[in-house]
Structure 1
């Protein structure tokens, strides 16, 4: 019989003897009553930028959906499969979250791929290329700016894509209506893997700023 990787089993043992042991009541309450998170986080698949770790969240506190480059597609009610849109619909309509945070991060592989038009597809389906085409207009503009360094172009598109995703969130009727009523807040944030810094998007100007942390 195949087994899980040893490091996963070891981590599970640590979890059962550590966090689960100290929060057993909380887990059992969540199992009995269901989840009621106040915040949804749309984050990247990158293993270095886990929202639960960055925000030190406990069980049941965050509803997280992760995809390549933390993108939100525009509202498209067709017969295709829309994973991120489905998660958004569930969070807003069923869980009734009060906040949605689009969390980007530095050194994002998806953003790097969007900035390299000469990159060869990883598969015949080119799923990453098609997905990253959501930010193609911005990628083309940033790539064309030769006054910026490679690193500056990368960081710029990582942050611009967050603004793109927030704009796309507002194309969903349920999001636009609830935000208009003051029952839902949209936020953007960018995490620097190298330094651990968190930058918050100013909702009025779109600028990314460091929050004051005591």
Structure 2
């Protein structure tokens, strides 16, 4: 493991600052989390994008959210084929073990993964079509969403596709038998959000109108 290097000094300094302030002032809470285990109310599935910080958006403390992040906040359909499925495993753990009451999908503006899907589907990113592209094969999950928005004006298409990433994930969640069972038993609720990074706006999907509406 000779390729591994020590943590950059600025991160080491930040850690010591956190330990001396936030942890010290809340050490009883951290001890309780360690001793009693986690009991998050909600699972949040958001994008890997560094600009999307769901704990800051909701002012959440340690122990509140069970968080999974991936490119474009996507959930694949249920497919127990014995292969590696990180997102599916996280959903299974959240629902069956942690018994979360909510799963919240959070999409966002200016999503690079969504743009990659758009460019791939319009022939502008041949590198993503390669079988060796992990990003391209992951973004194949969003192709049905692109088909639903491809006829929209170009200046509206990307934003619409960002919201389709949320809807596709919500649809795919319901293909998991244990998710569907928990939803139908009213033990679990699903939620779709989209946030505008620059404006700080937050919209939620309203099934009655079939649209995202501001909070």
Are 1:179 and 2:186 matched, yes or no? no
Q: Choose from 79, 83, 88 the match for 1:85.
A: 88
Find out whether 1:134 has 2:141 as its counterpart: yes
Shift of 1:30: 0.4
Of 5, 18, 27, 2:21 maps to 18
Offset of residue 14 of structure 1: 2.0
Runs of 4+ in 1 over 4 A off after TM superposition: none
What 5-or-longer segments of structure 2 have no aligned partner? none
1:54, distance to aligned residue in structure 2 (A): 1.6
Structure 1 residue aligned with 2:174: 170
Structure 1 segment 184-203 matched on structure 2, within 5 A: 184-203=188-207
Shift of 1:204: 2.9
User: C-alpha deviations, 1:89-130, integer Å up to 9, x for none?
Assistant: 000000000000001111000000001022143787200000
Tell me whether 100-109 or 130-139 shows the greater mean CA deviation. Answer: 130-139
TM-score of the aligned structures, taking structure 1 as reference length: 0.92
The answer to whether structure 1 residue 2 and structure 2 residue 5 are counterparts is yes
Distance, in Å, in 2 between the alignment partners of 1:19 and 1:143 is: 47
Structure-2-length-normalised TM-score = 0.91
* Aligned 8 A contact 2:131 2:137 in 1: no
State whether structure 2 residue 97 is matched by structure 1 residue 97: no
- Backbone CA RMSD of aligned residues: 1.6
Long gaps (5+) in structure 1: none
Q: Aligned with 2:24: secondary structure?
A: helix
Give the deviation of 1:61 after TM superposition.
Answer: 0.3
Q: Against the structure 1 CA distance between its residues 113 and 40, is the aligned structure 2 distance closer, same or farther, given a 3 Å change threshold? A: same
Q: Give yes or no for contact 1:39–1:98 (8 Å, CA) kept in 2.
A: yes
